Amino acid sequence: MWRDALLVAGKDLRIELRSRVVLNQVAPFAVLVLVLFAFALGPQRGPMVQAAPGLFWVAVLFAAVLAVQRSTAVESTEGTRDGLRAAGLDPAGVFLGKTGAVALELVVLEAFLTGGVLLFYGVTVHSAGLLVVASLVGTAGLAAVGTLYGALSSGLRVRETLLPLLLLPVAAPVLLAGTRVWQAAFATHATAGDPWLRLLLVFAAVYLALGVVIFGPLQEAS
Amino acid sequence: MTAHASTSEAGAAPAGRGFTRALRVLGVLGIVGMGFTVWLGLWVTPPDRTQGDLVRLVYLHPPIAWISLYLAFGIAALSSVLWLWPRTRSRFWDRLAVSAMEVGVVFTALTLFTGSLWGRPTWGVWWAWDARLTATALLLVLQLGYLALRRVPSDPDVRARRAALAAVIAAVDVPIVHFSVNWWRTLHQNATVLNANLSPTIHGAMAWTLLLGFVAMTLVFFWLLLLRYRIEVLAEGAGDAALQVALAERWSEGAPADEPAGPASNREPARSGS
């Protein structure tokens, strides 16, 4: 399973390195979202600083939709999906590989976004460790559920419009919890972002486990 | 249309005579129960000390909410799992899942609507970012997503598998959403009937009317559920019958070789039927 996961992740990341779609299109889009939010909130620093954690995670959610779409689009041409299945790869491995690739892309993108948040919104980080851990765990969960819905809608002609409708409400807890942990990380006195971090962990664990179990039948449904 | 209906009725047992009778009984019981609930709720029970006549919404809103939040979604999720489980896989569970989800979405919308009506005079706002309201709104979007996915046309088995998996992925999210929005904020009054020590905090005529409301609304739900189930069976039958008609017309098209008028008049119904 792990070997297959590495193979699939390596394949997806190699495609990304050569095409640079996520880096050249999705990452600028996510930063653009931050700028647009700044226009919506007005030039005062107060509301921006307050909203910064939530805006970061909303931008991540939008970017995740695009990254997942890209990740499934890679499979939908030239019968790649059937190729993957015919190659005898473990479905759980395929799931973990695709999730890992999407998660890694998103983490790189989040690094850009964090820079954008610090630069545009003028916030100061007080516990960087909490920030990094929350982002990593939240991204793992987001990539897992995104990969599941991506595979579910991959064969459909309406997938571009259907995927956000399916993915975003399910990912709402990541937005809620991620925002809370980020707020805790920005606060001068260290408040407990603790139940929220645990929620992110549970979310990631549940969807990674669910994906490992159901990805086999899921591949047959597309 | 009647021809299609009768053929599928012969093919599928649930659309038979016993099913129709059960439907009628359920419908009559549900409607009579609702009538009694309305009568008791509007005329017999007293107004509340603090909420006045507004309290009468309690006979409507919690029963609807119980169906949308627990019963309908529970049935949909459970039948999706049963469809996915190879030993219990049958068309029945797929049809039941989509029926429960579709009736459930109506009840979820009604939950939000009646809650909004109640919230305006008591809280002063139509909508508040309260835990239960937020969770219910998210549930509505989850259900709409399922139905949108389900509506995408494809092979029945593939569609059933896809819908069942989507239901499972969404169902796993429901408890997580529940906890997250609960920590986020809570403004809603606590559950009146299903509280921790199971002792209802209202008494007498009001409690009985509320109980009747729950029973009547549940009967109405099952009535609608079975009606929707029958529609699903009939629609499948109609789809199959239309396919047979189209196939038969295609076959007959090829038979007479040189008849310019014949194929043209044949092609018309074939196209509308397929």
- Cβ-defined contact of A170 to B169 (cutoff 8 Å): yes
Which pLDDT does position B163 carry in this prediction? 92
Does the beta-carbon distance from A221 to B162 stay under 8 Å? yes
- Rounded Cα distance between B236 and A81, Å, is 29
Tens digit of each residue's pLDDT (9 = 90 or more) over B127-162? 888 888 888 999 999 999 999 999 888 888 888 999
Q: Answer yes or no: do A207 and B138 touch at CB < 8 A.
A: no
B202 — pLDDT class (breaks 50, 70, 90): low
pLDDT tens digit sequence for B205-223: 888 888 999 999 999 999 9
Q: Which of A176, A195, A217 sits opposite B161 (nearest CB)?
A: A217
Q: Which residues from chain A sit within 8 angstroms of residue B165, using beta carbons?
A: 148, 152, 214, 217-218, 221
Q: Could you tell me if A198 and A96 are in contact, meaning their C-beta atoms sit under 8 angstroms apart?
A: no
Model pLDDT, residue B41: 87
Mean pLDDT of chain B: 81
Measured between CA atoms, the residue of chain A closest to residue B136 is A169
Q: pLDDT tens digits, residue range A159-212?
A: 888 999 999 999 999 998 999 888 888 876 656 557 888 899 999 999 999 999
Residues A22 and A36: their CA atoms lie apart, in Å, by 20
A7-20 pLDDT per residue, tens: 889 888 998 889 88
Torsion of CA B165, B167, B169, B174, to 10 degrees: -170
pTM value > 0.90: no
Let me know: does A77 contact A155? Beta carbons within 8 Å. Answer: no
Least confident of A94-98, B22-26, B185-189: B185-189
Distance CA(A87)–CA(A222), nearest Å, equals 17
Domain count, chain A: 1
pLDDT for position B17: 81
Q: Among all chains, which residue has been given the structure tokens 């494809």?
A: B154
Both tokens of residue A184?
A: 């805790």
In terms of CA atoms, which chain A residue is nearest residue B157? Answer: A221
Residue B11 scores a pLDDT above 60: no
Q: Do B168 and A158 touch (CB under 8 A)?
A: no
Q: pLDDT for B102-133, tens place per residue?
A: 999 999 999 999 999 888 888 888 888 888 88
Low-confidence winner among A58-62, A70-74, B16-20, B155-159 (lowest mean pLDDT) = B16-20
Please report residues of A whose CB lies closer than 8 A to that of B135. none
**Neighbouring residues of A8: CB distance < 8 A, sequence distance ≥ 6:** A84, A89, A93, A94, A96, A97, A98, A101
Nearest-Cα residue of chain A relative to residue B84: A217
Residue B48 zone, left/alpha/beta (φ > 0; ψ -120 to 50; rest)? beta
Whether B198 shows a pLDDT value over 60: the answer reads no
Q: How far apart are CA A18 and CA B195, in angstroms?
A: 58
Show residues of chain B in contact with A210, CB under 8 Å. Answer: 168-169, 172
Residue A125 has pLDDT above 90, yes or no: no
Of B138, B144, B168, the CB nearest to A172: B138
What secondary structure, in 3-state letters, does A17-34 show? HHHCHHHHHHHHHHHHHH
Dihedral pair phi/psi, residue B52, rounded to 5°: 65, -140
* Cβ within 8 Å of residue A184, ≥6 positions away: A127, A130, A190, A191, A192, A193, A196
Q: Which of A163, A176, A213, A214 to mutate to test the interface with B (most CBs of B within 10 A)?
A: A176
Which residues of chain B neighbour A202 with C-beta distances below 8 Å? 176
Residue B63 structure tokens: 């029963």
- In the three-class reduction of DSSP (H, G, I as helix; E, B as strand; rest coil), residue A45 is classed as helix
Nearest to A111 by CA among A139, A153, A76: A139
Q: Which residues of chain A make contact with B166, given a CB cutoff of 8 A?
A: 149, 152, 166
What chain A residue is nearest to B171 in terms of C-alpha separation?
A170
* Every domain of chain B and the residues it spans: 2-273
Chain B hits for A165, Cβ within 8 Å? 141, 144-145, 148
ipTM: 0.87
Q: Give the H or E element holding residue B126.
A: none
Ranked by mean pLDDT, which of A39-48, A207-216, B47-56 comes out on top?
A: A207-216
For residue A46, give Cα distances in angstroms to A122, B242, B265: 10, 63, 73
**Per-residue confidence (pLDDT) for residue B8, from 0 to 100:** 39
- Please, is B85 exposed, middle or buried when counting C-beta atoms within 10 Å of its C-beta (0-12, 13-18, 19+)? exposed
Q: Which residues of B touch A220 (CB under 8 A)?
A: 158, 161
A102 CB neighbour count, 10 Å cutoff: 29
Minimal Cα distance from A148: which residue of B? B169
Overall average pLDDT of the A123-142 stretch? 90
Confidence bin at A66 (pLDDT 50/70/90): very high
Q: Nearest to residue B122, comparing CAs of B54, B53, B186, B192? A: B54
What is the spatial distance between Cα B201 and Cα B195, in angstroms, rounded to a whole number?
Answer: 9
B207-242: buried (b, 16+ CB within 10 Å) or exposed (e) per residue? eebbebbbbbbbbbbbbbbbebbbebbbebbbeebe
Cβ contact B172–A210 (<8 Å) = yes
- pLDDT tens, position by position, B76-102: 999 999 999 888 888 899 999 999 999
> Which residues on chain A place their C-beta less than 8 Å from a C-beta of chain B?
145, 148-149, 152-153, 155-158, 162, 165-166, 169-170, 172-173, 176-177, 195-196, 199, 202-203, 206-207, 210, 214, 217-218, 220-222
